[in-house]
Structure 1
Amino acid sequence: MPETSQPMRSNTTPSEAMTSRSISSTQSLAAPRHDSPRLLADIGGTNARFSLETGPGRTEHIEVLPCAGNRSLADALTAYLSLPHVASAGAVRHAAIAIATPVVGDIVRMTNHHWEFSIAELGRRMGFDTFVVVNDFSALAMALPYLGDEGKRRIGGGEPIPDAPLGLIGAGTGLGVSGLIPGYGIDGGPARWAALRGEGGHATFAPVDETEVDILRFARRQFAHVSAERLLSGAGIELIHRALSQRYGRAVEPLAAAQITQRGLSGACAVCDEALDVFCGVMGAVAGNLALTLGAQGGIYIGGGIVPRLGERFDRSRFRARFEGKGRLAAYLAQIPCYVITAAYPAFGGVAAILARQIDARS
């Protein structure tokens, strides 16, 4: 399914969960409005983000609910739609959800959370006329051509080639991977983007030095298959830290990813700092593989909740060296720019565009 966004926040604390947020429209109050508000959602393994689109470019009433605080997606939807300021906006007839799991057929089961549901049944239960469910990174990919300079930070590379494929990778609760491929209408008109629906985060992890070989050996004691996601995720940072602690003969502290990150960034712990360095290096290697696979000369975009929190530490890490370190193709990769997505809720614009296409098609 061809699939586009707006601003993102990952790993929001429970205290933020029921805080109302709005994104002011850049259009005037006289801008077009939908005949009814449209529900947009971005469901990750940790948080469920909801908003209402009241008109093109108008995203309002943003709420972030912890997934663990709701037994099901239906409960989370009901909780959001029952909020007084949301309910007062009017009945929702059309809804689109981006979710962190493969979407194939009617039954959806989340990879990193226990929610599962039937798309048709949930749509009927909520009373939606239109209900679309897509992979979260397919939705995010559709937003990439529309991110302004204020919504991204560049890390190396040359100028992007217009209408060339774009790559997308992002680490949070899991590792999302997608891409955006330009195509042309049957009338030979302007390019029309199509988002890839893949699960590249589960491709096999390939170590490149002795440290990563030791980490792989450590991980294989726990997992029959060690994917890139096993290292490039919140749980992955914790695994890297445990593996390095064992490698250096140190007692393994049961630290959470946020603690490892904080200690690494502050310089309080050398092992934590090295864990971040390994994470950034592996991210560079996987992103470089994606760039080669897609021919992503339009750029590689990095989303998810982890990398934006690393700030300058990521920019001066081994990421770029590992991204380009592909032997004979190093010069090719050196020209490809990489961008960290800094916009607050980037998936909303993607699901909005997907939903608009579905409504137009039905019309």
Structure 2
Amino acid sequence: MQDLKKQNYTSPRLLADIGGTNARFALETGPHRFEAVAVLACNDYATLDLAISAYLQSDAVQGICLQPVQHAAIAIANPVNGDQISMTNHHWAFSIQTLRDALHLQTLLVVNDFTALAMALPYLENHQRIQIGGGQAQPERVIGLIGPGTGLGVSGIVPAGKQWIPLSSEGGHASFSPADAAEVDLLKVIWREFPHVSAERLISGMGLEIIYRALGELHADGADASLSAADISRRALDGSCARCRQTVAHFCGMLGTAAGNLAITLGATGGVYIGGGIVPRLGDFFLQSAFRQRFEAKGRFANYLAAIPTFLITAEYPAFLGVSAILAEKLSLADNAAH
């Protein structure tokens, strides 16, 4: 890996992790030293430009920025191909070049949020992750990443000498694969509304709501179809709603199957990590769920999967680690080219 300590931080670097619901910002004042961390609701701002400007004008930022920010990196929940960005699960759209000019930046790097999160994995410390089940990571092997939030992020990193190469993936939009008769019944109901049911359609915040409604329709029990994902999770965890517990149980099992598929597809014998905003909030419910059993349930390849460890990321702002590393590499290459 690159030596971040050799980087020159003449002014703070702006880092952002933009999801479909929240925009997280920080100033990096030294290698992996994040200050003035703030979380802004995306719906409170008409554009990303306005959200960034509000952050940069905050008292916390003004107290740190003795010099203008020159370099910035944004991790965003969206494919990044070319200059034009249009978010999948939010209405923000922008030109990278226009945004860079508006913010008077020398450098503006925009990458997929799970590409950034994947690059954070080598920097996570033991207390920033929890292992679920058995297995042991093989050194210098591919590592997989999957995480449900507003959508379903999928990525991974591939070792290349002393560096890691992140994958730019939209694997969350691969077709959902039912693993048992109960999920087939759910899928038949959901197909009535969505001709293509992706993994993201069910393994996400909106997925919790869709699964809950489909279960209510299957059992004709008069379930409250207006419940939000947050309500469903809360009622499942406090034990006040059996249908909510069943919903979250299905969600955890589906995630296990998707994570196992990812492990086999990538050959991720370096481990598979679970990110996103939903799973860390499930606590013991997730740890005791069918996630790991479903991860390993791959027939003749059950032993192969059993040897691969799965980890839940518990770090509060892990994407900052990854987007910082990507920006540092870009600036290092630019500096080497200049000399």
TM-score bucket (shorter structure): over 0.9
Decide whether the 8 Å contact of 1:141 with 1:178 is kept in 2. Answer: yes
Alignment of 1:165-314 (within 5 A): 165-184=142-161, 191-253=162-224, 254-314=226-286
Q: Which moved more, 1:131-140 or 1:250-259?
A: 250-259
- Aligned position for 1:349: 321
SS of equivalent to 2:110: strand
Which whole-Å CA distance do the structure 1 matches of 2:230 and 2:250 have between them?
Answer: 16
- Bigger shift: 242-251 or 322-331? 242-251
- After TM superposition, which residue ranges in structure 1, 4 or more long, deviate above 6 angstroms? none
More helix as a share of residues: 2
Counterpart of 1:43 in structure 2: which amino acid? I
Distance 1:222 1:32 in 2: 52
Q: Does 1:129 find its partner at 2:100?
A: no
Q: Distance in 1 between matches of 2:304 and 2:147?
A: 22
SS of 2:72's partner is: strand
1:74 aligns with 2:67: no
Quick check: 1:33–1:56 contact (8 Å CA) kept in 2? no
Secondary structure, aligned partner of 2:17: strand
1:99 correspondence with 2:94 = no
Counterpart of 1:6 in structure 2 is none
Instruction: Give the distance between the partners of 1:91 and 1:219, measured in 2 at CA.
Output: 51
Letter in 2 for 1:291: A
**2-side partners of 1:60 and 1:69: how far apart?**
22
Deviation at 1:33, TM superposition (A): 6.4
Q: Is the 8 A contact 1:214 1:243 kept in 2?
A: no
Matching residue's letter, 2:295: F
Instruction: Please list the CA deviations of residues 6-43 of structure 1 after superposition, one character each: whole Å capped at 9, or x if unmatched.
Output: xxxxxxxxxxxxxxxxxxxxx9xxx9861011000000
Distance across 2 between alignment mates of 1:194 and 1:216: 35
TM-score (norm 1): 0.89
Kindly indicate whether residue 127 of structure 2 is the aligned counterpart of residue 155 of structure 1. Answer: no
Show structure 2 runs of 5+ residues with no match.
none
- Identify the match of residue 305 of structure 2 among 330, 333, 338: 333
Calculate the TM-score normalised by the size of structure 2: 0.95
User: Which residue pairs with 2:97 in the alignment?
Assistant: 120
Structure 1 window deviating more from structure 2 (153-162 vs 321-330): it is 153-162
Give the CA deviation at 1:158: 1.7
How far residue 269 of structure 1 moved from its aligned partner, in angstroms, is 1.2
SS of the residue corresponding to residue 153 of structure 1 reads strand
Q: Which has the higher contact order (CA 8 A, sep 6+)?
A: 1
Equivalent-residue separation in structure 1 for 2:35 and 2:286 (angstroms):
32
How many percent identity over aligned positions? 55
